[in-house]
């Protein structure tokens, strides 16, 4: 029997990608979709690519509408998920693609988001390597409350965490510059996201440690074994609808070699969705579009004494909706890769 599913925030980009994946998932049946301003409209009016779900109508995002489902996925702006989730049944699997339940430290939430703090949930990045030798996926088994990572966070974490855990880099000297597609900002009407502003240009934003994903990155790399984690993280908007290319560097630990660096990433050998490329090869965003795959390439800058990890993923796929479905599969005891594409779309 299929598990009944509701998706809140179904009119946005993340909600639309969730629905695209869920529409072909063999164990899930999408029965309810909700929105705010678009409530009352047919889903197909705002997500015209989702032809198989044309029978659904957007309902108000209200706890009473979401109750009674086996699984609820939330794709809401920060500060909105917490208001809804407090009223949902404890036995319902709730997977939040927003920020409300990611941060363990309330002071970090206050500093970067503000407003009510709703507490941290089980963290939905299965491949995160932990200092004790385990992986985050073990903590998702049987969970009923999961917080999906930020998309930039996923790209940087998967690029750096194995090196941090292995001690081959210094966690207090990290730098990451990301090329980011504007869909990561959601379906928002802003001047800097208009095509006429983006096409033919690239611009940095949230410069100087102001991006809200900063504390989450530090949280993850600390969990991986980093001490006094410090990262300078600069995202750059580029004119591609979706995708992230993260160039992350770290000072090599004394005596660490390129061979040590590559050996640290052996933890990804059995991962279905995180793939280390052969030496000398580096990922392209286009090769991950539409997939739940993150590609990682490694190098050592001998002159600078720094490790370089380049990671690419689809911010709406592995960066958001794919991670949500993957984590839900684990929590429910389903095959982890069920319903998730490993192949990208080309050209």
Domain boundaries, the chain: 3-148+318-332, 152-315
Tens-place pLDDT, residues 85-114: 888 999 999 999 999 999 999 999 999 999
CA–CA dist 44, 34 (Å, integer) = 13
> What is the spatial distance between Cα 283 and Cα 304, in angstroms, rounded to a whole number?
22
Greatest Cα pair distance, the chain, in angstroms, is: 62
pTM exceeds 0.85, yes or no: yes
d(C-alpha 83, C-alpha 125), whole Å: 23
Pairwise CA distance, residues 311 & 269, whole Å? 16
Q: Phi and psi of 284, rounded to 5°?
A: -115, 140
Read off the pLDDT of residues 277-307 as tens digits, 9 standing for 90 and up.
999 999 999 999 999 999 999 999 999 999 9
Indicate the class that CATH gives domain 3-148+318-332.
Answer: alpha beta
For residue 295, which phi and psi values (nearest 5 degrees)?
-105, 140
Q: Quick one: pLDDT band at residue 6, thresholds 50, 70, 90?
A: very high
Residue from 63, 53, 59 nearest 19 by CA: 53
CATH number of the structural domain 152-315: 3.30.360.10
Q: Which residues have a catalytic role annotated?
A: 151
Say if residues 124 and 149 touch (Cβ distance below 8 Å). Answer: yes
Same fold, 3-148+318-332 and 152-315: no
Q: In this model, does residue 188 exceed pLDDT 80?
A: no
Instruction: Using the predicted structure, report yes or no on whether residue 198 has a pLDDT greater than 90.
Output: no
Long-range contact pairs involving 280-283 (C-beta distance under 8 Å, separation at least 24): 282/310, 283/245, 283/310, 283/311, 283/312
What confidence category does residue 316 fall into, taking pLDDT thresholds of 50, 70 and 90? very high
Query: For the chain, where are the E strands, in sequence order?
Result: 3-8, 28-35, 58-60, 71-74, 93-96, 122-123, 145-147, 169-180, 203-204, 231-237, 244-252, 274-276, 294-301, 306-313
Tens-digit pLDDT profile for residues 134-154: 999 999 999 999 999 999 999
The C-alpha atoms of residue 184 and residue 106 are separated, in whole angstroms, by: 24
Q: What is the mean pLDDT of residues 148-175?
A: 98
DSSP code per residue over 169-227: EEEEEEEEEEEE-GGGG-S---GGGSHHHHTT--EE-STTTTSTTHHHHHHHHHHTT-S
């Amino acid at each position: 029997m299929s598990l009944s599913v509701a998706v809140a925030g179904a009119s946005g980009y993340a909600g639309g990608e969730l629905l695209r994946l869920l529409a072909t998932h063999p164990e899930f049946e999408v029965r309810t979709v909700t929105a705010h301003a678009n409530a009352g409209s047919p889903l197909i009016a705002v997500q015209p690519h989702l032809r198989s779900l044309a029978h659904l109508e957007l309902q108000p995002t209200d706890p009473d509408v979401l109750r009674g489902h086996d699984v609820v996925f939330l794709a809401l702006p920060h500060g909105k998920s917490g208001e809804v989730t407090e009223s949902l049944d404890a036995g319902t699997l709730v997977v939040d693609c927003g920020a409300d339940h990611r941060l363990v430290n309330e002071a970090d939430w206050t500093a970067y988001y503000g407003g009510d703090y709703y507490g941290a949930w089980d963290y939905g990045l299965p491949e995160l390597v932990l200092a004790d030798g385990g992986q985050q996926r073990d903590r998702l088994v049987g969970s009923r409350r999961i917080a999906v990572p930020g998309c930039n966070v996923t790209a940087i974490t998967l690029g750096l965490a194995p090196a941090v855990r292995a001690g081959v880099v210094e966690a207090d000297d990290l730098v990451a510059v990301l090329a980011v597609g504007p869909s990561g900002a959601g379906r928002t009407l802003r001047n800097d996201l208009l095509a006429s502003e983006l096409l033919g240009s690239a611009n940095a934003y949230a410069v100087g440690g102001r991006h809200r994903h900063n504390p989450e990155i530090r949280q993850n790399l600390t969990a991986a074994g980093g001490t006094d984690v410090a990262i300078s993280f600069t995202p750059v908007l580029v004119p591609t609808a979706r995708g992230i290319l993260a160039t992350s560097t770290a000072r090599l630990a004394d005596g660490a070699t390129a061979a040590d660096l590559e050996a640290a990433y052996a933890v990804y050998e059995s991962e279905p969705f995180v793939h280390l490329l052969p030496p000398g090869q580096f990922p392209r965003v286009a090769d991950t579009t539409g997939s739940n795959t993150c590609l990682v390439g490694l190098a050592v800058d001998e002159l600078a004494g720094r490790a370089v990890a380049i990671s690419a993923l689809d911010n709406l796929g592995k960066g958001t909706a794919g991670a949500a479905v993957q984590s839900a599969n684990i929590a429910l005891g389903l095959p982890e890769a069920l319903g998730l594409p490993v192949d990208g779309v080309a050209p």
